[in-house]
Copies of this chain bind each other. A is one copy, B any other.
Amino acid sequence: MSPAKDNEKVPARRRVPQQVRSRDRVERILEVAAELVVDKGVEGVTTRAIAAGADLPVASLYQYFADKEAVLLALVERDIAEMDAQIEVDLASLTVLSVRSMVETTMRAFVKVYHRRPSFVVIWFRGRTNVAVQEFVRAHNRRMARDLFQIARSAGMVVEGSDGLYAELAVEVADRVFQLAFETSLTGDPHLIDEGIALVTAYLETHATPAGIAGVPVR
């Protein structure tokens, strides 16, 4: 993944060595920030601490990131992209689409990435301060809800007259169930996750066709 994002100042580069060094540094910064988040919480991510950890002058942070918040946002963007990829792969392996299988597959995909990316868990579930992060994840949730809803509708799983709002609420509720499950442990309470899947499934099945509940084979 390119480190270039809107919220990062990525200097145009001319020579390969520079580029490489630049990328290294950006990655080092993100890495250190991720560690700090996990070790000391979002509040522990200070420009001083990042700079010290990455062995850089504080001023150099501002070569790569507009400000401190942009570092957290970059972290979140990276992890969200990973979630999208994981969901896509996992959904593609389904042979039967049902409300239950879609919910379970999607939610388990999230859990996989949460395990790989504990820093996301901390930033998102424990420290919702950063407005940019909040808006980014919220927008992503909406987009994801829409996409999943489209898939379900194309497969004839959704009852007539049902709009995407149910999907959005379901995604947000799932998000909060995860928050609950990961609030005290970085691995997430498995029982809570199972129950959460059941809960979201139960809710969405109230808006599903019989086929959506029974399952339709993927063509």
Chain A residues within 8 Å of B, Cβ to Cβ = 43, 126-129, 134, 165-166, 169, 172-173, 176-177, 179-180, 183, 191-192, 195-196, 198-199, 202-203, 206
Q: Are B43 and A129 in contact (CB under 8 A)?
A: yes
- Chain B residue numbers with a CB within 8 Å of A206 are 198, 202
The main secondary structure of chain A at its interface with chain B is helix
- Chain B residue numbers with a CB within 8 Å of A176 are 173, 176-177, 179-180
Q: List 19 A-B contacts (CB under 8 A).
A: A43-B129, A126-B128, A127-B129, A166-B195, A169-B192, A169-B195, A169-B196, A169-B199, A173-B176, A173-B199, A176-B176, A176-B177, A176-B179, A198-B203, A198-B206, A199-B203, A202-B202, A202-B203, A203-B203
Could you tell me the distance between the alpha carbons of A191 and B206 in the complex, rounded to whole angstroms?
17
- Chain B residue numbers with a CB within 8 Å of A134 are 183
Could you tell me the distance between the alpha carbons of A1 and B7 in the complex, rounded to whole angstroms?
25
- Chain B residue numbers with a CB within 8 Å of A129 are 43, 127
Nearest CB in chain B: distance from A212 CB, A: 16
Could you tell me the distance between the alpha carbons of A206 and B203 in the complex, rounded to whole angstroms?
11
Nearest CB in chain B: distance from A129 CB, A: 7
